[in-house]
Structures are given as structure tokens and as C-alpha cells.
Amino acid sequence: MYARRIAVIGTGYVGLTTGACLASLGHRVVCADVDQAKVERLRSGDIGIREDGLAELVNEGMAAGRLSFVLGARAALAELDAEGSPVEVMFLCVPTPMGVGGIADLAAVEAVIDETRELLPQGAVVVNKSTVPVGTADRTVELLERPDIGVVSNPEFLREGSAVRDFLNPDRIVVGSNSSQDAAERVAALYARLGAPTVLTDAASAEMIKYAANCFLAVKLSYVNAMAELCERVDADIADVTEGIGYDKRIGQSFLSPGPGWGGSCLPKDTHALLQVADSADFEFRLLRAAIDTNTRQQQRIVDKIRTAVTGRRAGSLTRRRLALFGLTFKAGTDDLRDSPALGVAALLRQAGAELVGYDPGVDAASARIEPSLLTVVDDPYVAAKDAEAVVVLTEWPEFRSLDWTRVAECLAAPTVVDTRNLLDPDVLRRASLGWIGIGRSSEPVARRST
């Protein structure tokens, strides 16, 4: 017997992972989407995204009869009704893109509520899983006009590239509700087998936890990038600095790597959304605004570093200078290009007149959704490096460490590597007769000593 009967509306990263993982925990799950072609692909086992372990879970769930895909929210509720047991929990995992002024756009959330309001059985629970502004749970209650329906905020904390692992091994489960403590406890019980700490709170606090977590990480990354710049100016080594502070349990080792800035589908959207929340509460969130400004500045700082490396002068011209960009996605382990800092740097380089060729292990050249006028995407790093005046590493793919750097050097027109992730071993590049330029580190680093 299935533990619970669940509808998941939306099959993006969050919705598909949520549906597949809940099915793996023994629940009966129907996932719905408005894109018919996508639904057909999912039914055939093609998940369409690069996410470790997700395709296997989807296919296992379908084979076991616990997971299915339908077109539209109405169809999801109807399928469960047809099986003789109506939906108990409906997760809203629809897109909430950045709208006017930076606040999340709730049009898709409101559309699903409008579509299902009269179809939900008495006692069902509606769960906001998408990242939504503080107050959305209360707004959902108003839109439903169904006092017999519980409304719960259950934010996700999934990292792209490790979403399945994060779902099944969570740091915590956060569940908030103003309308029904029973509904909150029922949602928390869905995750009981995971054994994670559970925070039961009010809806506004649950919604705020999601923003607070992501924005804290953004601040931490901006801090590290600012420290890297300072290290360069005082001849310190950011790698040693972050190692030294990372052993402090109050700080930790994660999110201490400098780079070309933070991006992706969450941090840019969530930082601007929290600023809007702060503004609406008449609170000047200077710290968060400074983190955003630092992140914006970081991309230009990377361009200045590339310009100096290629031309010898910070104000040198990049016009018709050919550059090889290694890494286009916003992080390694995913094929997601949304708000990628790599593409932000590429846009600035292109504006400066550079000719760009890009390679990324997660991006297929034939289907890459990148404007050709920005850069040419190829499927071979050595082709990308051919006749380039520098290789610029923009995404932290571990595969780059195992490249034949002697061969890369033979392809290049100038022996320069700008490593914006401090990913590569400088000694390996020097043995290949390549100059290495990192972030927050000397181009001739001393031997590292660590115990």
C-alpha cells in the first residue's frame, strides 16, 4: 500500500527531483507539466537534464507503478481519482522567475491554484515547494478560498548536480504553516524515512529560511572574492587563507572558493527577491546589496585580469584577440547556463572585441542555447584552444585537470592560462611551458604545505 498519494505540479529540477524521490520513498506520485513534448519525453525515460542519479530514479519509479507523468494539473488529480484514492498532498513546483523590480513572479503558482481550486478533495494539503516571497502561503490561502484545505510552505534546498543526493540526505526539513498544524505534520511525515532534523514553524519563517540560506551563501562567496582581490594587493595567498579559516567550525570549508562570481537559477533571483522583501518592510539591507554589487564587479575584475594577461596592460585592447573559454555552465556537474557567470564574463569580453571559442563538458555544441554572435561552442577543448592567445577557465569541471596540457600548449598562439577557479595545478602547467594566472594567488606560488 502506498504511504501517500501525491501530485507534483511542475517538472523542472525541483519538481522532477521531488516527484522521483518521493516515489522512491514509497509514495504514489503523479507529476504534471504544461509542456506536452516534455511529458512525452519523461514518459519515455528521457529526463532532459544532467542530474546524477535522477534518470535512474525516474525509470525505477515508473517501472514500479509509483510514478507517472501527465499533461496539466487537472489530469494529475484526475489520475489519482481514477485509481480510487484522491490526492492527499499537492506540491507546487512551478517556475517563479524574477519579475519586475526583482520580486518573484507568482503567475504560474496562481494559475495552478485557479485550475485546481474546485477539484481538491476536502482535507488535502497544498505545499509551496517553489521559492516564493514571504507571505505567499497566506496569499495561497486567500486564493484557494477553501478553509478545508491546508496550506504549507516546504522550501527545497537542492543543489543542481547533486539534487537527488541532497533530497535523500538533507541537512534539515523545513515545514511551515499558519492554517493547519496537522497539515504541517502530515507533510513532515512524508520525509520521515530520511531521519533529518525537522523545523516546524510558521509559514513566513519557513519562506524566510529559504531566502536567508541562499543569500547567506551569496554573501559568503562575495566575501571570498573580495578577500581574493585583497590578497593579490598584499601578496597573500587566498588558497592558504581560506584553508586556514575553513578549519574554524563556525566558518566551515564550503563556499570558500573564489571565482568569476556566483550565478545560476537561484542566487541571483533570491538575493534580489530578498532585497524586495526588505524594501517592502522599510529595511535597508546594505550588507546584501553590497554582496550583489561585489558580485557584479567581480566579472569586470576577471575581464581586467584577462586583458592584462593577454596584452600586458590593464587598458590593452582585446579587439580580434582569440580566447578559449573552458567552462560555460554556472557550475560543474550541470548543463544549466542560466545566469552563468562564465557567460557574463564572455559577454564583457565580446563587448571588448575579443573572439571567443567555448568548450564545456556539459554543453553539446550542436544543441547549445548560446547566441552564436557571443561565442562559438565546440565539443573538443583542443579545438577551442587552437590559435587562442589564452585559455580562460571559468567553470570548475574536474575534467579540466586531466587534460593533456602539453597538447593544449601546442594548440595555443600564446602560452597563457587564466584560471578563474584556481582549479589547475600550476606546476603541471609550468611543466607544459604554460604561464598560470589564478585568483588571489601569485602567478609563481610557493610550494603548498598542508597537514
How many CB atoms lie under 10 A from the CB of residue 317? 13
Residue 357: beta bridge partners? 324, 376
Q: Which amino acid is at 140?
A: T
Helix (H) or strand (E) holding 68: strand 67-71
Round to whole Å and give the CA distance between 350 and 116.
47
Helix (H) or strand (E) holding 291: helix 286-311
Q: Is residue 215 annotated as a catalytic residue, yes or no?
A: no
Q: Which three cell numbers stand for residue 407?
A: 597538447
Strand order in the sheet with 173-176: 67-71, 28-33, 5-9, 89-92, 125-128, 150-153, 173-176, 198-201
Per-residue b or e along 411-434, where b marks 16 or more CB atoms closer than 10 Å to that residue's CB: bbebbbbbbbbbbbebeebeebeb
- Tell me the CA distances in angstroms from 425 to 401, 431, 445, one per residue in order: 8, 10, 10
Round to whole Å and give the CA distance between 127 and 129.
6
Instruction: Yes or no: say if 47 and 16 are a contact pair by the CB < 8 Å rule.
Output: yes
**Does the CA dihedral 405-411-416-422 come out positive or negative?**
negative
Q: What are the phi and psi torsion angles at 338 (to 5°)?
A: -65, 125
Round to whole Å and give the CA distance between 43 and 68.
7
- Look at phi and psi of residue 358 and say left if phi exceeds 0, alpha if psi is from -120 to 50, else beta: beta
Round to whole Å and give the CA distance between 384 and 439.
22
User: What is the DSSP code (8-state) at residue 88?
Assistant: S
Instruction: Yes or no: say if 352 and 359 are a contact pair by the CB < 8 Å rule.
Output: no
Contacts 24+ apart (CB under 8 A), 302-308: 302/260, 302/261, 302/345, 302/418, 302/420, 302/439, 303/345, 303/348, 303/349, 303/352, 305/418, 305/420, 305/437, 305/439, 306/345, 306/349, 306/390, 306/392, 306/418, 307/352
Instruction: Yes or no: say if 258 and 341 are a contact pair by the CB < 8 Å rule.
Output: no
User: What is the DSSP code (8-state) at residue 104?
Assistant: B
Question: Could you say which of 31, 215, 231, 266 is catalytic?
Answer: 266
Question: Which residues are the active-site residues?
Answer: 266
